Amino acid sequence: MTAISISTHVLDTSKGEPVPGVPVTLERLSAGEWLATDAGTTDADGRVPKLVPEGQVVPAGRYRVRFDLEGAPGGQPGWYPEVSVVIDIAGDSGHHHVPLLLAPFGYTTYRGS
């Protein structure tokens, strides 16, 4: 079985800089309910390199990566207090990188590498 890992990176595109201090929560949908599986905070480079603890088996399923933008130091200016990105992970699918690009009145995400 291939290990599944999940990481993220938050960038402020209006400044061209990473966003440190953003609380990030990983949740898994189970029986219609979102259950927190792990959490982290973006580092000085805006990254959470591992949202899944080392050695933990991540089953296939639907996951939500929640970015608490108000929870960042000083809160993030802009229109979005929180951003949630919902992804489907297949079994044995390896690494998943979920970047978040922020601007005051917009955001985008994509499957990174």
Domain boundaries along the sequence of the chain: 5-109
Burial class (CB in 10 A: 0-12, 13-18, 19+), 54: exposed
Give the C-alpha separation, 106 to 35, whole Å.
27
Average pLDDT, the chain: 88
Query: According to the model, what pLDDT value does residue 92 have?
Result: 67
Give the C-alpha separation, 9 to 42, whole Å.
7
pLDDT, tens digit, 9 for 90 and up, residues 65-103: 999 998 777 666 678 899 999 999 887 667 889 999 998
Give the C-alpha separation, 99 to 113, whole Å.
9
Count of other CB atoms within 10 angstroms of residue 69: 21
Tell which residue, 58, 55, 53, has the closest CA to residue 87.
58
- Specify the fold of 5-109: Immunoglobulin-like (2.60.40)
